[in-house]
Structure formats: C-alpha cells, structure tokens
Amino acid sequence: MRLLDVRGLSKRFGGLQAVSGVSFGVSEGAIKALIGPNGAGKTTLFNLISGFLTPDTGAVLFHERPIQGLRPYEIARRGIARTFQHIRLFPKMTSIENVMIGRHLHGKTGFVSAMLGLPGIWREDRGAKERSLEVMEFLGISGLADQEATSLSYGQQRLVELARALACEPGLLLLDEPAAGLNMRETAEMASMISKVRDKGIAILIVEHDMSLVMNISDEIVVLNYGEKVADDTPLAVQKHKEVVRIYLGEEE
Amino acid sequence: MRSRIYLPLLIFIAALIGVQQITSYTGTAYYLTQLTMAAYYCLVIVGLCLMIGYAGQISLGHAGFFAIGGYLSAFLTTYDLTPMKDDRIISFLAKAGFLWTREDLYGGQMLIFQPWAACIAAVLSAVLIAYVIGGPVLKLKGHYLAMATLGFGTIVYRIVLGMTALGGADGLSDVPPFKILPFLEVSGEMSDRVQNYYIAWGLVVVAVFLSLNLIHSRIGRALRSIHGAEDAANAMGIDTARYKLYTFVLSAAFASVAGVFLTHYNGGIGPSEASIMKSVRYVAIVAVGGMANLWGAVVMGTLLNFLSLRGYFGTYDDAVFGAILIVIMLFVPRGLLHMDIVRDLKALLSGRDEEAV
C-alpha cells in the first residue's frame, strides 16, 4: 500500500521550473531514494512534501489524505518527520533537550497549565525524557545526552538530528542528504542506522548524493533531472537505465 | 529537579523580607518607595525576558503596553461619568457594581469606575491589542520585528501625548487608591508603604513563579527551540506562530498589570511612561541580565531601576541605559550575571573575539 503518494507536483520560482509534474509513491516500510544532479529539484520536492513550500499544482497524499499546502507543524503532526541538509539543531540546548523537542507533538501540556506547574506536567516531561533516551539508545548516542548538541562532531550532530526526527515517531521519515559531510566510516554507520530505522517499520524518503549508500539501502529510486522525473525503479534497473546513465556520465561518443 | 528550580525563589522571598526588615531597623524605610516602583518595572522586565531571552523575539514597544494599562485604569478611575449617569449603559454599569462615587479634590461627587473594574478592563485591553497586533507583527524577524514594535510604541506614545482626555503632556493625576482586599490597598500613603512594598514584590514573585514553571516545561523548551532554529522547530510539530503570540500576549499582560498598579501607587501617570526610551531601558535590562536568564533580569531590573529612581544617574538617566545597551552588546552579549562571566572577562582581556548571541 502506498503511504505517500505524490501526484503531478509542480513548483516554479520566477522563470525557473524547479519541479514539474513529478509523481511517485512511497510504500509502507520501504526506503525510497531521490537522486539527480545538483539543481534537479530534489530539495524543492522535499520542501513541498514537508510543507516548507506550497506547490503550484499537484497533490501530496499521506495515508490517502491530502497534505499539500499544510504548514510544516501540521504535516509533522500527521506523521512526517524530516532532517535538514544543513544540520538544524537547536543551539544552547543539550542533545537530550534537542531530541525531546521531537517528543513535543506527543505532549499535551498547554501554555497555561505549564505556567501553573500542575503535577501532571512533570510526569509527562519525565515520560518524554525517557522516550527520548530510548531513541538515543537505539541510535547508540545516549552517551551524548547531556552534551550541548551544537558542540558535538558533525557525524554525531547528524545522529542527534536523526534521533530528534525519530522521537516524533513518524510513519514517514524524510532525510535530506544524511551523509553529507560525513567520512566513509560515518557514512557506513549512517547507512546501517537508516536500515535499522526501516526495520522498525518506518518508511523513508531519502535525498542523497552518495551513490554507494543509495544503491545499498534503497528499495526503489526516483531519478530527477531539471525538475522532471526520469526514472522510478529498483536500484539495479536504475543503474542500467539509459537516460540515467546519460545524465550522470554524459553522452556516449 | 523541582526543588532546584524553586530554591532561588525562596531565597529571593527571604531577601525581600530581609531588605524590608533592614530598612525598618536602620530607619531607611524611605527606600521602600523606590523599591516598590522598581518592583513594578521588574514585572515588565520578567515578561520581556520570556519574550526576548527565551522565545527570541525582540520587542521595542513594551512601554506601550505598560502605558495602555496605566492610562486606561487612570482614565477610568478619574473620568467623571455623572453627566452621563442616565445613559443606559452607564446606569447598567452602575447597577452591576462597576462604578462608585468618590469625592473629588473640591468636595464634589464624582461617578467613576471601581479600580477593580478599571484594572480588568485595562489589562484585557492590553491583552487584546497585543493579540491583534501580535498576529501579523510576529511574522517579522530580527530588525523588522524591532522596527514594527518600535512603531507600535511610538503610536501609543503619540496618542497619550496628543489626547487631551489623557492629559497631554501633564498626564493623568488624582488617581484613587486601589483597594485589592479590605486590608490591602495600592496607594502612595506613607502609612501603607510597607504593605505596598509587599504587594508589588508579591506580584513579581507570582510572575517569576509562573515564568519559572513555563521555562522549565515542554512549552519553555519549545520556546527555546524557536529561538534557536524556528524552521526546525516548526518541522518538529511546534506551532511556532502560536507560541510566539502567546508569549507576546503574556508579556503584554505582565506589562499592563505593572502599569495599572504603579499608576495607582503613584496616583497618576505621565506620557514619559510610554516613551521609547522606557522600552529601550527594559530591553537594556534584559540584556544586562543575560537575555535567557530570568534571575539575571530580576536582579539587574531591581538594581538599575532602584539606582535610576533614587536619581543616581541624574540628568543622564536615559543616556546611562542607552550606554549600558551598547556596552553589553559589544563586550558581554551574554549578560553580566552569566555563569561564565570570569571566562568571558579573560577572553575579553586576551583580546579574543566574543561569540555573538
């Protein structure tokens, strides 16, 4: 069954057609990759799905309900969490506090009850902290819980950001270049983490430039070029796809 | 965890009682007058600290909310409704107990609003105005937000200065005392000095208590995340616009309550309370306190307002606060009462660049 269904999505910035009529789907529990040369519209597509941009035309269905045009926080509440190409951790907050922000949408404490300091609030907060620690444990970074998140190494920051997104308990996780800036060992570690996340039943849509990572973990790959979909198939088929080979390697003489 | 949060509050309360005791034993009870006034300014600063330090949203218009509270309650409790007493609305208000009669300076009878009713009306108005302007204005960021709130402050200032009903440059005076309870009265009477000290600081303690709860909760964490990376907070399911608005409204409510009470305490209010320099002063104090440091804001708010009200800064009063803002921003952007102040000073002396906040 299709968890996410993207139908004929288009977005124009002035004279640039960033995304034009792209359709694809993500099945429950699958890893789908989105690849293409720089400027192919991958991040734009991500921002359209996660609500940071509103599409000009087309629809995005999640659990068969339209979500295009909703605000990012509403989409997050529907069960789509994301990470960012340029790490967006909260400065001056510890790793665990960062991850606890991911638990926010599972909390109930409102503005007024928080101010009054009612007893239930502290219980809820303890629960959020425990759940956040579990997620960090799952990714093997619970040891970093009390360190300031933005002081960690780049690779660790990527994992904290992943933990924060996982703490939302999403049905679909959007990863925007999770291996960017990581060395080979860290990239391999990230790949195994992503597979581990999928094994929990979370579907993943990933934008990535690292081809070995993409080919290893993806179930299906969508190839974009100049905002248009070129291919949508299994990794093996995509590697043999004529048009894809042309885009990546150039014309044969 | 809970006790660690409330311990400073208990120390603060003990210090407040201690100060009052010392002034009574040393015969310096006259200090209580300025300390009481400083408390009301602290109330504004506590709210603004939540807004600037935690939610990360600047406001250069909070003197406006203070003035809305102060002026509205002053106007309602001094404007004689006798000529209109046959009006349907007025007679309804009188029957509902919102009005009372009071002798004016010349022995005539005045029909005016009860201070309680005026207080509620004033605070609700400030909250409503904050809610209405906060929606669109808080979409702005950084300099643009500063400009927009500055504009709001300017509008309030020009209105209170220009309206004859609000006394123009003279402001409003002869504001009656505010009887909160049969035995508690906000007034400038010498005999009420001690109880007014406790009323004012009691309000600050309540505001600090509410604020401490807020910043150590799920909401407070969300506010800090908005400060740090608003788009990421949004992507985590936080309705950032709503939280910013609520914080703005809350800080406006604190400011307007302060305005109402200080006006009753002083027996009047003048347009200088709405001036831009007042707003700048509030922001400067939050900065000196260390932005996201509620206790820093309270301590510096008390100290600097007290010194200012005692006249230590003389005619340079406003200049002092302007200078403080510049110096803090340049040299100690994390405030004077930061835990790492020693490290900051060392860094400063060794000539290393400070990381901007």
Question: Computed from CA positions of residues B87, B88, B93, B96, in that sequence, does the dihedral angle turn out positive or negative?
Answer: positive
User: In one letter, which amino acid is B230?
Assistant: E
* Shortest Cα–Cα distance, A53 to chain B (Å): 12
Per-residue pLDDT tens for B184-199?
Answer: 999 998 899 999 999 9
Please report, for the domain that includes residue A207, its CATH number. Answer: 3.40.50.300
Query: In this complex, which of B219, B225, B233 lies closest to A114 when CB atoms are compared?
Result: B219
> In the predicted model, is pLDDT for residue A253 greater than 60?
no
User: In one letter, which amino acid is B27?
Assistant: G
Query: In this complex, which of B217, B225, B237 lies closest to A114 when CB atoms are compared?
Result: B217
Contact B240 A73 (CB under 8 A): yes
* Shortest Cα–Cα distance, B9 to chain A (Å): 14
In a domain, A213, yes or no: yes
Same domain, A250 and A224: yes
pLDDT at B355: 46
Same domain, A151 and A181: no
Selected for mutation to probe chain B from A104, A106, A113, A164 (highest B CB count within 10 Å) is A104
Nearest residue to B63 (alpha-carbon basis) of B262, B276, B324: B276
Same domain, A174 and A253: yes
Same domain, A243 and A192: yes
In a domain, A190, yes or no: yes
* Shortest Cα–Cα distance, B208 to chain A (Å): 10
Per-residue pLDDT tens for B40-60?
Answer: 999 999 999 999 999 999 999
Contact B222 A88 (CB under 8 A): no
Query: In this complex, which of B1, B219, B239 lies closest to A109 when CB atoms are compared?
Result: B219
In B, which residues are within 8 Å of A100 by CB distance? Answer: 221
Mean pLDDT of A223-238: 94
Q: Which DSSP string corresponds to B118-167?
A: HHHHHHHHHHHHHHHHHHHHTTS-HHHHHHHHHHHHHHHHHHHHH-GGGT
Nearest residue to A178 (alpha-carbon basis) of A235, A151, A165, A79: A165
pLDDT at B342: 63
> Residue A160 sits in which domain range?
91-167
Same domain, A65 and A100: no
Same domain, A106 and A135: yes
pLDDT at B262: 98
CB pairs under 8 A between A and B: 105
Same domain, A70 and A192: yes
pLDDT at B336: 76
In a domain, A253, yes or no: yes
Instruction: Tell which of A114, A132, A167 closes a domain.
Output: A167
Confidence at B1, pLDDT banded by 50, 70, 90 = low
Q: What percent of chain B has pLDDT over 90?
A: 76
Residues of B near A (CB-CB distance < 8 A)?
A: 1-2, 209-211, 213-214, 217-222, 224-225, 228-229, 231-240, 243, 246, 250, 292
Same domain, A113 and A158: yes
pLDDT at A55: 96
In a domain, A86, yes or no: no
Same domain, A162 and A97: yes
Confidence at B103, pLDDT banded by 50, 70, 90 = confident
Q: Chain B residue with minimal CA distance to A113?
A: B214
- Note whether A176 and A43 are within 8 A (CB): yes
Instruction: Tell which of A120, A136, A167 closes a domain.
Output: A167
pLDDT at A176: 95
C-alpha A40/C-alpha A34 separation (Å) is 10
Same domain, A107 and A146: yes
pLDDT at A248: 84
* Domains of chain B with bracketed CATH: 2-77+114-349 (1.10.3470)
Query: In this complex, which of B1, B218, B229 lies closest to A104 when CB atoms are compared?
Result: B218
Q: How many CA atoms lie within 13 A of B59 on its CB side?
A: 36
Range from A100-104, B87-91, B131-135 carrying the lowest mean pLDDT: B87-91
Q: Chain A residue with minimal CA distance to B334?
A: A92
Same domain, A177 and A210: yes
C-alpha B318/C-alpha A234 separation (Å) is 70
Contact A73 B231 (CB under 8 A): no
Both tokens assigned to B311: 């006249």
Mean pLDDT of A217-244: 93
Contact B213 A115 (CB under 8 A): yes
In a domain, A84, yes or no: no
Element (H, E) at B183: none
In a domain, A204, yes or no: yes
In a domain, A194, yes or no: yes
pLDDT at B190: 87
Residues 6+ apart with CB under 8 A from B216: B1, B5
Per-residue pLDDT tens for A154-208?
Answer: 999 999 999 999 999 999 999 999 999 999 999 999 999 999 999 999 999 999 9
Query: In this complex, which of B214, B224, B235 lies closest to A114 when CB atoms are compared?
Result: B214
Per-residue pLDDT tens for A138-168?
Answer: 999 999 999 999 999 999 999 999 999 999 9
Instruction: Tell which of A167, A192, A224 closes a domain.
Output: A167
pLDDT at B333: 76
Confidence at B357, pLDDT banded by 50, 70, 90 = very low
Q: Chain B residue with minimal CA distance to A106?
A: B237
Per-residue pLDDT tens for B309-354?
Answer: 999 998 899 899 989 888 888 887 777 776 566 666 666 667 655 4
Same domain, A216 and A139: no
Contact B236 A128 (CB under 8 A): no
Mean pLDDT of A27-47: 93
Provide ipTM, 2 decimals.
Answer: 0.93
| Domains of chain A: total | 2
